[in-house]
Chains A and B, each alone.
Chain A
Amino acid sequence: MSREKKREKPLLSTLSEPCFEFTGNREVVIEGSRGVLGYSPENIRVNTAALTLSLFGRGLNLRCISDSALVIEGVITSVEFHT
């Protein structure tokens, strides 16, 4: 990977594993996402390289999406990891 490409990537994305940062059950920041597999106010599924993260809840929204990270807000009631 060229130096410019590395610089574009956030620091946490350089890790081999995805990184999840929860703020209570109202917000989650996912670093290292590879795409959104499903999107509804009750369920959002996110593909990361190693696993698929499935969030369940109410009023879930994708607040911000970039090429390697996304921010999900809403009331998160449960989280599932599919390997």
Chain B
Amino acid sequence: MLIGMVRYLRGFVTFEICGRYPERFLNIALRSHVTIWGTRREQERLFASMYAADYRRIRGLARRSEVRLRIVERQGMPVLLHRYQSRVGVAVGGLMFALTVFVMSLFLWSVDITGLERISESELRDALHSHGVYVGAFQPGLDYPTIAREMMLDIDEIGWMAINVRASSASVEVKEEQPAPDVTDTSVPANIKASCDGTIVEMRVGEGLSYITEGSGVVAGQLLVGGVMTDDLGGVRLVRSSAEILARTHRTASFSLGRDERMMLPTGERSERLRVRFLTLELPLTAHGVDSEYAVVRRRTESPVFHDSTMPMALLRESVTALSVQSVERDDNSKKEILAKYSDLYEAFVLSSCTVEKRTYQAAADDTMTVDYTCIEDIAVTEEIGTDENTDRLPARARSDE
């Protein structure tokens, strides 16, 4: 294999030896330190091969040994170069192609991310970009194991991460950190108190001494279930109270609209423009824009995929919509609708743990609406009892008494 490669690079000729004593020619050639190979005899004709440079040197010797030489075939790199010396463009093109392939292999063509659940992909891509991993990054300067370790330290939500690179495609595998479960220390004694005012509707006490009954009215901070248990002999035992106390509570919320409501609204003017991206270089194909101070741009990226590999170029389609700041005039019905939506949002986010029984709407003249909510909710709040072991958690009143 290696010898064959050397022969190809140096160039060689296969020739026919015609004459009465071809052996004589062989011996003369050998004494001139010429290497001959592939010798074969076909009837009266003898064929052999030698380096092209040796062949030029040996022609004079052939005449001395009374044989005639005839070239059957020329092979090798010098022959190829000689054949295409008038076509320099072909050689330059081949060289440029090889150079382009080599240079392009030094850059990252695509970055794929898998395993994301809670972390957003754009957030992770930004973090990768800040560590030098992005489409078009120069690969030899990247230390992927170190980058993965630094990323795990920077982003707490990442439990494990690996960056696998195959040729010019990086595949980022992420396993997100599982949050530790909230473990309650059941050995610490605790009372249950009311989180807000209300009327007890239903109570399910698991542990502890109940101080209220269904139908009782309670105020915020009132002791509902005590963790101090006294037995018949007068002994005291501390327990961690557990109970679900459902109470009817009342909440009031006010929603209002601004007097001078200004919003950014589309003017109707739109424009589409195209850009082409090659690695990190972006070039505009069309330069349309909108004549407006504000605009929103939606960008869609289309990258060609060849044999499951994303190519390093992309077509970017940008849709530009002009915006302007406008004062909004609303009629009464529209205002009511918006205030009702505010109320719905309040219930969805603030009262998400409650069951709303009743709503009472009171509209005022100055674009304000007040809503009274009657809810059923769990008002039990666990509050640990201070003991000798955890004196720092003693109630303020008990500590002042000491």
Contact = CB atoms under 8 A, between A and B. Distances in A.
Interface of A: 8, 35-41, 61-67
Given A39-B39, A39-B46, A65-B30, 19 more contacts: A8-B33, A35-B30, A36-B26, A36-B27, A38-B23, A39-B23, A40-B41, A61-B40, A62-B26, A62-B39, A62-B48, A64-B38, A65-B36, A65-B37, A65-B39, A66-B36, A67-B30, A67-B32, A67-B34
B39 A61 contact: yes
17 contacts: A35-B30, A35-B31, A36-B23, A38-B23, A39-B39, A39-B41, A61-B39, A61-B40, A61-B41, A62-B26, A62-B39, A63-B39, A64-B37, A64-B38, A65-B36, A66-B33, A67-B31
Contact of A35 (B26, B33, B38): B26
Given A65-B35, A66-B35, A67-B33, A35 B27 contact: yes
Nearest to B29: A65
B22 interface: yes
Contacts of A61: 39-41
Contacts of B30: 35, 65-67
A6 B29 CA distance: 20
Contacts of B46: 39
Nearest to B44: A40
Nearest to B33: A67
Interface of B: 22-23, 26-27, 29-41, 46, 48
Contacts of B41: 39-41, 61
A63 B41 CA distance: 11
| Majority DSSP secondary structure for residues of B touching A | mixed
B53 to A, nearest CB: 16
A63 B49 CA distance: 10
A8 B33 CA distance: 10
A69 B48 CA distance: 16
Contacts of A39: 22-23, 26, 39, 41, 46
Contacts of B33: 8, 66-67
Contacts of A64: 35-38
Contacts of B36: 62, 64-66
Contacts of B32: 67
B310 to A, nearest CB: 51
Nearest to B35: A66
Nearest to B39: A62
Contacts of A38: 23
Contacts of A65: 26, 29-30, 35-37, 39
A8 B29 CA distance: 16
Contacts of A35: 23, 26-27, 30-31
A38 to B, nearest CB: 6
Nearest to B31: A67
A36 B40 CA distance: 14
Nearest to A68: B30
A59 B253 CA distance: 108
Contacts of A63: 37-39
Contacts of B23: 35-39
A38 B27 CA distance: 11
Nearest to B26: A36
Q: Give the interface centre of A35, A40, A41, A65 by most chain B CB atoms within 10 Å.
A: A65
Nearest to B27: A35
A63 B39 CA distance: 6
